[in-house]
Structure 1
C-alpha cells in the first residue's frame, strides 16, 4: 500500500494526525484498539472541524452539540480529536494512555477530560444514552424557546460500532427514538465488517439499514467503495451529515463503510487491527504509507495544529452569537433564563424545594410504599420543574405518573411523563442521558426487572449521576405472580454496587424522606425499593428527619430507658413484623429495641459512634429481618445474631400465605429472638 497523496493536503495531514497519535499511544501502552480510530479519523475530523457546534475554550457551553463515542473502545479517536481541537488535554496525556491516574483511560470517562460527555465502553450504552440527551434537548427547547427567542437548539452526535448495533439495548433505544421522531439525533455507524474475534459476517447478517428504516430513521451511506486504498472523503461525510441536519422529524443513521486499521499494510481489514497494538514494525510501515517520519513519535506538524486550531475560533464565534441571543432572552424573561441556566449547568434545585414534605398519619389506612411514592412524586414535581420520568409499561403499577404533567410524545416534547414501553434496559440508559443533560429523571419497573437494566444502572453509578430508580413489587410480598417476579437476590446485588444508594423504606413517611434524599443528592443515583402490599404507617414523630442520611435509627426501645437485651433490625415491609414481634416479646418481659434500617449503604458510611449507639456491641442478641437473601447482613446481626429471610426462590400464592410458607412472620421473628438471647447468654 502506498500513500494516496504526494504531497498530502492539510486535510489529509490533519486526518492522519489522529491515526498517528492513536498508533503511537496504543503502541506505547502495548494495548488498546487502534483499528477503529484509524478507520474513522476522517469522520472525527469532519465532525469536529465542519459540523459540531462546540467551543473547546468553553466545553460546558449550554447550547453546545453533544458528541458521544458509543464505541468507547476506540477511545484514542476521541482523545486525539479533543487534543487537536484545542480541548484541555495535553500531548503528555496521550503519551500516558491507559496509565493509572491519566485522564486518558482505556475507555472514555465522563468529564475526566472536558468534552467527554459520557462514560462509554459497554457497547450500546452510549448510543442509548444519546437518545436521552436528544430527548432532553427537545424537552428544554419546548419549555424555554419562544417565537422570538431560540436559546436551545443543538444536536446529539454519535459514533457507534457494529458491536453497538448488535447489542439489544441499542435496538430498544433506537426503536423508541424512531417513535419519538428525534430529528436532532445523528449516528455514524462504523460498518467496517470486522469485530474483535471475527468478521461480522460470521455472526451478523441482518440488513441494518432496513431495520433502522423500520424503526422510523432516515438512513444514509458514505464510503461504499470496496477499494482498500480509498480513504473516506470528508466532503461526502459532510454532505450526508448536512442531509441529516436538514431532517427535522426522524433521527438519522449514517452508515459508514470504513476500513479498520486504514493504511496498515498487513493488518488493515482484519481482526489484527481491532484490539491490540499494531507492533513497532507495523507502526513504522504504516507511518511510511501516510508519508510521516517513522522515527518521530507523538509528533504533530505545526501546520496541522494550526489547521485544527481554527475550530477554536469558529466555536468561540458560535458561542458569542448564542450569548447575544441569550442576553435578549434574559432581558425578555429573566426568570426563565435563570432557570434554564440552573437546570443545564446543575446549579442545584430551586430554593425552598424541600419545604412541606408530605407527612402521613398512623391513623390513616395502611398504604403500599409504591402508592406513597406516587403521592410524593406529585409533591416533588410541583417543586422541581425539571423532574421527569416514567416506567417500562408499568406506570399504573409503579405509580410513576406525574399528574397533569403531560405525556412526552412525537412533536410534543414538553411532557413530563415518558412512556418507555417494555424496554427496561433502554429506559435505564435514556434516564442516564436525560440526567447527563441536567434534568432530574427517574425510571420505574418491578424490582426483579432491575436485572434487565443493570448495565445502565452500573454506568450511571460509575458516572455518579443523580438518577432515581423506582423499583416496586420488592419481595415475595407481591404474591401470586410467583417466583419469576419475586426478587430475592436483588437487594444484595444492588447493595454491592458502588455509588448506588439503595433505600427500602418501611412506610409512607420513610418513603417521603427517601424521595427527599434522592433529590437532595446530586452525586449518586438512588434506588427506591417499594412494596406492592399495604404497610402500616409509622408515627412520623418516631422517624428522624435524617433517617435516610444516617441509614438506620432506633424506632422503639424498652420502656423506662433500660438497655435492650435484644435488637430486631428490619427494612421495608419487615419493619412492621419487627414491631409486632417486639410487642409480643415485651409482653413476656423481654427488653427489645426495634431498628429500622431503610438504607444500609448510608448506615455503613455513618459515624462509627452513631452506628454504635444504634447497634451497641454489648447487645449480642440481634435478629435481622428482610424478605430477601441473607448475603451482606452478617455484618449487622453479629456472631450471636440470626437472620429471618429467604434462602430460596419464592412461590406463587397470596402474600400472606407466601410469607407464612417461608416463615417470615412476627411469630417466627419472636421465636428466633428468644433463641438469639439464649445463644448470647451461653457465649
Structure 2
C-alpha cells in the first residue's frame, strides 16, 4: 500500500524542514522530524483540499495546534502545490516573509488557523467542527450533502498539558463531534526535558472519559498503521484521538531528547541526520518522484473533489435556490437586506440595563440573519444571550442556534474563533466582564486573525455591588483597549447599545467587545440625534451652552449619565462644560484629526474623565492638566449605590473635582460664589 516513494516523500518533508530551520538559524526541528509520517499520510490519503483554491468552503480543515512545528507545515504546503514557493521556504522566519515562525492565518495560504499558543489550535478545531455540523444541519438535504468535511489536528504533549485542552475536549465529547480527528504526536518530551517530570496522564482513559474514541499507533513511522487508524476514526460517532508514539527529532544524533526541540541541529548534526535518513539530495532540492507523488495524491485528488462539489452545488442551486442563496450569503459574510428593520428603538423616558438591550438586539438580529448564533459560558440567563426562538445546539439538534459552552470561558473563545475561521457564521459569546481574563489568550488570537467575533461582557463594573471584588472588573477595560486590532465598546444608554450591536454586525476585520451593564441605563437626550456617534468612537452628547466650553467632562458607559448630572450642577456654579461620550477609544482615534478636534478641542485643557475602572490610559484624553476619576484598587462588596459612593462616583464628587481643577487653573484659593444664573 505504501512504497519507497512514500517513504522518500516523508523524508523530503523532513529534509526541507531542517534545511529551513538551519538556514534561518532558529526553529523547532523536533516535531517535523518525528511527525512527518503522520502529516504525510493525512495529506496524501485523507485530507481533502484544493491547493489551487485554498479557501474552498467544503475542504477538510487542518490545524497544526503544535504551531512551533511550522516548518513541517510549510514544507507540506510547498510540496502539495499551495502558493508557498521554494524561495518562501528559504525565507523561513525572516521579516515580512510568507513563512513566519508560527503559522499565521491570512498570511500563508493553506493555514487554516494561527497557532503557537499551545492548546488553542485544538480549541479552534472544536469550533470548526461545530460550524461544520451546524451548517450541514441548516443546508444539507437527503440528496445533496453540500457541507460535509472533517477537521484534523496535530497536537503534542504541550497542547494536552494546557488547561484549554481539557475544556475543549470535554465540550467536543459532549457534542459528539464525530468529524473531529486529533493526531497526537506523543513523544514524551517537552522543551525543558522529559514529560514524565510533569505529565503522566493516561491519554486513553482521559479521552475515553470525555466521550472520545481512542486509538494508539505504537510506531510513529508505520505509515500503514497511521492510515488504518485515520480510516477507522472517520467512521466513529464521536471525536477521535489517535495517539501516535514517536521519537522527537527522529534520525538526529540527539533524537529522543529535549535538545532537538527548539534549536537548529547545527551543520554536523544536520549532515548526520540526513545520512541516517538516507537522504542524499542537495539542500532545498526535491526528487522528481516526490513532486509527482504529491501532484497525484494531493493536488489531483483535491481538485477532483472540488470539481465534484461544484457540480453538486450546481444541482443544489437548482433544487434548493433559496437555501443555496442563503448559504452563499452566509459564506460571503453578507447580511440580508432587511436586517436593520425591526431593531429596538428608544425615546426619552425609556431605560433598561445594557444586557437587556443586547438581549432585544439578539432577538431582532436572529430573526433576520440565519447565520447568527452564539451563547455563553453557563451564564445565558445573566448575560441574556439566549435566542428565544431557538433551542440548544447539541449532538441531537445541530440546527439550533444557542451555544451552551458550559463553565469553559477559554474554550468558548477559542471555539468562537474556530467557528469564525470556518466561515458561514456570525458568532457571539458571553460571560461576566471580569471573567474575560480567562478568554484573553483567545481574544488576542481573534485580533491577530482579524476575526469578526462579538463578545458580550456584562456586569461591567463595581455596580455589581454585593458580589464584591472578585466579580467587579477594574483593569479589564484598559487591558482589552490596549490590545491591537480590537474594538471595545461601552455603551452609555440603550441607543448606544443598539448602535454598538449594529457596528459589531458590520465589522468584518476585527473582534468587537460589548461591555454592558447589569443596572438600568436611562435614555440620554444626546444619543437620540447621534446615529454615528458610536461608530466614530466618541461624540459630544451634551454640549455647552455658550460657543466655547469652559471645560469638558468625558466618560463611557453608565458614567456618561453621571457626567451629565454633574454638568447640570456645575451650571449652577457658573461653569459651562461639555460632556463627551467616549464609548470606543480605538474607533475615536481612527477618526480624522478635524473630527477629534471638534469633539475634544485642544485649547480646552480643563478636562475631567470618569470611568468605573483603571485610570491608566485616560491621560491620552485629559492631558497633563486634566483629572481622571477612576478606580485603581479592587472593588468592595455592598449595595451598589453605597459602593459607588464609596469610590467617589457621585455627581457632587465630580463637581468638587472639577471645581478644584478650575481653582488651580485660575489660582483661586477661595470657593466659587454661587452664580445668579
After TM superposition, the score normalised by the length of structure 1 is: 0.96
Given the alignment, which residue of 217, 234, 242 partners 1:254?
A: 242
- Paired with 1:282 and 1:636, the residues of 2 have a C-alpha distance of 57
The answer to whether structure 1 residue 145 and structure 2 residue 133 are counterparts is no
Given the alignment, which residue of 604, 607, 612 partners 1:619?
A: 604
Instruction: Work out whether residues 359 and 540 of structure 1, in 8 Å CA contact, stay in contact via their aligned partners in 2.
Output: no
Q: What secondary structure, in the 3-state scheme, does the structure 2 residue paired with 1:129 have?
A: helix
Instruction: Work out whether residues 526 and 542 of structure 2, in 8 Å CA contact, stay in contact via their aligned partners in 1.
Output: no
Q: What secondary structure, in the 3-state scheme, does the structure 1 residue paired with 2:7 have?
A: helix
Structure 2: which 5+ runs fail to align? 669-677
Instruction: Work out whether residues 527 and 541 of structure 2, in 8 Å CA contact, stay in contact via their aligned partners in 1.
Output: no
Given the alignment, which residue of 298, 301, 312 partners 2:287?
A: 301
- Paired with 2:182 and 2:329, the residues of 1 have a C-alpha distance of 29
1:591 corresponding residue in structure 2? 576
Structure 1: which 5+ runs fail to align? 226-230
Instruction: Work out whether residues 186 and 243 of structure 2, in 8 Å CA contact, stay in contact via their aligned partners in 1.
Output: yes
1:228 corresponding residue in structure 2? none
The answer to whether structure 1 residue 436 and structure 2 residue 425 are counterparts is no
- Paired with 1:405 and 1:582, the residues of 2 have a C-alpha distance of 45
Given the alignment, which residue of 307, 316, 322 partners 2:309?
A: 322
Given the alignment, which residue of 485, 503, 509 partners 1:523?
A: 509
Given the alignment, which residue of 184, 202, 206 partners 1:211?
A: 206
Given the alignment, which residue of 26, 29, 32 partners 1:37?
A: 32
Given the alignment, which residue of 232, 244, 266 partners 2:221?
A: 232
2:122 corresponding residue in structure 1? 127
Instruction: Work out whether residues 427 and 443 of structure 1, in 8 Å CA contact, stay in contact via their aligned partners in 2.
Output: yes
The answer to whether structure 1 residue 580 and structure 2 residue 565 are counterparts is yes
- Shift, 1:541, TM fit: 5.6
- Paired with 1:647 and 1:204, the residues of 2 have a C-alpha distance of 39
- Paired with 2:630 and 2:502, the residues of 1 have a C-alpha distance of 29
Instruction: Work out whether residues 620 and 680 of structure 1, in 8 Å CA contact, stay in contact via their aligned partners in 2.
Output: no
- Paired with 1:541 and 1:524, the residues of 2 have a C-alpha distance of 25
Q: What secondary structure, in the 3-state scheme, does the structure 1 residue paired with 2:166 have?
A: helix
- Paired with 2:328 and 2:59, the residues of 1 have a C-alpha distance of 13
C-alpha deviations, 1:98-130, integer Å up to 9, x for none?
A: 000111111000031211001000000000000
C-alpha deviations, 1:164-193, integer Å up to 9, x for none?
A: 011001100100100000000000011001
- Paired with 1:69 and 1:572, the residues of 2 have a C-alpha distance of 40
2:272 corresponding residue in structure 1? 285
Instruction: Work out whether residues 361 and 537 of structure 1, in 8 Å CA contact, stay in contact via their aligned partners in 2.
Output: yes
The answer to whether structure 1 residue 487 and structure 2 residue 473 are counterparts is yes
- Paired with 1:523 and 1:244, the residues of 2 have a C-alpha distance of 36
Q: What secondary structure, in the 3-state scheme, does the structure 1 residue paired with 2:470 have?
A: coil
Instruction: Work out whether residues 173 and 426 of structure 1, in 8 Å CA contact, stay in contact via their aligned partners in 2.
Output: yes
Instruction: Work out whether residues 377 and 405 of structure 2, in 8 Å CA contact, stay in contact via their aligned partners in 1.
Output: yes
- Shift, 1:552, TM fit: 0.7
The correspondence of residues 101-180 of structure 1 with structure 2, limited to 5 A, is: 101-180=96-175
1:600 corresponding residue in structure 2? 585
- Shift, 1:588, TM fit: 2.4
Q: What secondary structure, in the 3-state scheme, does the structure 1 residue paired with 2:174 have?
A: helix
- Paired with 2:411 and 2:333, the residues of 1 have a C-alpha distance of 27
C-alpha deviations, 1:244-289, integer Å up to 9, x for none?
A: 0011x2000000101111111x211111111010110011111111
- Paired with 1:490 and 1:256, the residues of 2 have a C-alpha distance of 41
Q: What secondary structure, in the 3-state scheme, does the structure 2 residue paired with 1:204 have?
A: coil
1:471 corresponding residue in structure 2? 457
The answer to whether structure 1 residue 678 and structure 2 residue 638 are counterparts is no
2:437 corresponding residue in structure 1? 451
- Paired with 1:374 and 1:273, the residues of 2 have a C-alpha distance of 52
Of 321-330 and 533-542, deviating more is 533-542
Given the alignment, which residue of 259, 267, 272 partners 2:259?
A: 272
- Paired with 2:530 and 2:493, the residues of 1 have a C-alpha distance of 13
- Paired with 2:490 and 2:640, the residues of 1 have a C-alpha distance of 18
- Paired with 1:98 and 1:644, the residues of 2 have a C-alpha distance of 45
- Shift, 1:659, TM fit: 0.5
The answer to whether structure 1 residue 191 and structure 2 residue 186 are counterparts is yes
Of 534-543 and 423-432, deviating more is 534-543
Instruction: Work out whether residues 68 and 118 of structure 1, in 8 Å CA contact, stay in contact via their aligned partners in 2.
Output: yes
Instruction: Work out whether residues 347 and 528 of structure 2, in 8 Å CA contact, stay in contact via their aligned partners in 1.
Output: no
2:230 corresponding residue in structure 1? 241
Instruction: Work out whether residues 621 and 679 of structure 1, in 8 Å CA contact, stay in contact via their aligned partners in 2.
Output: no
- Paired with 1:558 and 1:80, the residues of 2 have a C-alpha distance of 63
Q: How many residues align?
A: 665
Q: What secondary structure, in the 3-state scheme, does the structure 2 residue paired with 1:547 have?
A: coil
1:426 corresponding residue in structure 2? 411
Instruction: Work out whether residues 465 and 638 of structure 2, in 8 Å CA contact, stay in contact via their aligned partners in 1.
Output: yes
Q: What secondary structure, in the 3-state scheme, does the structure 2 residue paired with 1:363 have?
A: coil
- Paired with 2:609 and 2:22, the residues of 1 have a C-alpha distance of 54
The answer to whether structure 1 residue 370 and structure 2 residue 355 are counterparts is yes
Instruction: Work out whether residues 406 and 416 of structure 1, in 8 Å CA contact, stay in contact via their aligned partners in 2.
Output: yes
1:335 corresponding residue in structure 2? 322
Instruction: Work out whether residues 160 and 166 of structure 2, in 8 Å CA contact, stay in contact via their aligned partners in 1.
Output: yes
- Shift, 1:79, TM fit: 0.4
1:506 corresponding residue in structure 2? 492
The answer to whether structure 1 residue 534 and structure 2 residue 523 are counterparts is no
2:675 corresponding residue in structure 1? none
- Shift, 1:543, TM fit: 4.2
- Paired with 1:540 and 1:579, the residues of 2 have a C-alpha distance of 10
- Paired with 2:330 and 2:241, the residues of 1 have a C-alpha distance of 29
